[in-house]
Chains A and B, each alone.
Chain A
């Protein structure tokens, strides 16, 4: 194993859709999310190229020694509106080889920084299936708490599966004077 992995977290670009499409069809990504199998490439392109101002997409890009780059993770943050505009819903998609590793951690931490420090969100929510212990451990490690357990939340491989709503809470911060 090489230890010279170089990860960059950055905004999504239109040319990323091909590598995202490949990422989608990897491992348990579809199973453990709310995505449907057999995605259409056309619909995919449409979805990731037409973002509203309340919709933020961050990509984790890996630089490989040969100079090639590869997308190994995507974070999708959708901010609610009006009386819930202090809340965002996060979806995290990380290639199985890079889960519980630096690309996943960096992607999540950067997205939480965007949410808390720049968007000023108070709540960031994720939905995780109750048996997805890796995801639960990841969010638990980043101070998310289980707020609700939703029975028959979504279909998965022929059955209804229960899911947790986990929330990372950002407390009010005292206003800080600009240093002159």
Chain B
């Protein structure tokens, strides 16, 4: 007899909804997420709820969902004026779901949205220089290091360096 293959739960990428706020709080407040992003620890869940319910108009957010739970986020913040062709990207995946292709799925969707629908020409981001998994993902998707911001952000008691990275449409 053959056993039926174990089905992988389906990974869905969709727009962020107001109802997602509790799952989002669980991601934002995870120690590892705080450490490797620019989030602060001890954030108020009320504030996270408010921010989830009322994102700024220039800020687009996508959620990754498995089994009706949001386990990853990616955000695009569009520039304005002479920088309207640019967007700043930020992403985070719940530590329990890293290394399972969630980041890849979010990244593909965000690039599609930015370049094929918003006509964004330059996607930029900053990343801690020691965040190897994130760096590998960004490099795989055509982001190049444009420079290093020495002591760019404060983290757990000391300053840490950031890479400034960008992906240009049409050069990949």
Whether B168 contacts A147 by the Cβ 8 Å rule is no
- How many Å from the CB of A4 to the closest CB on chain B? 39
Q: Count how many pairs of residues, one from A and one from B, have CB atoms less than 8 Å apart in the complex.
A: 75
Q: What sequence of 0s and 1s flags, for each residue 28-42 of chain A, a beta carbon within 8 Å of any chain B beta carbon?
A: 000000111000000
A117 to B38, CA, bound (A): 26
Which of A122, A151, A169 has its CB near the most chain B CB atoms (within 10 A)? A151
Whether B121 contacts A160 by the Cβ 8 Å rule is yes
For the complex, is A84 an interface residue (Cβ under 8 Å from B)?
Answer: yes
B residues 71-110 touching A (CB-CB < 8 Å): 81-86
Whether B85 contacts A155 by the Cβ 8 Å rule is yes
Known pairs A83-B38, A83-B154, A84-B153; A148 contacts B81 (CB<8 A): no
Whether A82 contacts B40 by the Cβ 8 Å rule is yes
Q: What sequence of 0s and 1s flags, for each residue 105-122 of chain B, a beta carbon within 8 Å of any chain A beta carbon?
A: 000000000000000011
- How many Å from the CB of B102 to the closest CB on chain A? 24
Which residues of A lie under 8 Å from residue B81 when comparing CB positions?
34, 36
A153 to B155, CA, bound (A): 28
For the complex, is B148 an interface residue (Cβ under 8 Å from A)?
Answer: yes
Whether A83 contacts B155 by the Cβ 8 Å rule is yes
B residues 27-65 touching A (CB-CB < 8 Å): 38, 40
Whether A152 contacts B122 by the Cβ 8 Å rule is yes
Beyond A34-B81, A123-B149, A149-B146, 15 additional contacts (C-beta under 8 Å) are A36-B82, A83-B155, A84-B153, A122-B151, A123-B150, A147-B147, A147-B149, A148-B149, A151-B168, A152-B121, A152-B122, A155-B84, A156-B82, A160-B122, A169-B151
Residues of A participating in the B interface, judged by any CB pair closer than 8 Å: 34-36, 82-87, 122-123, 146-156, 160, 165, 167, 169
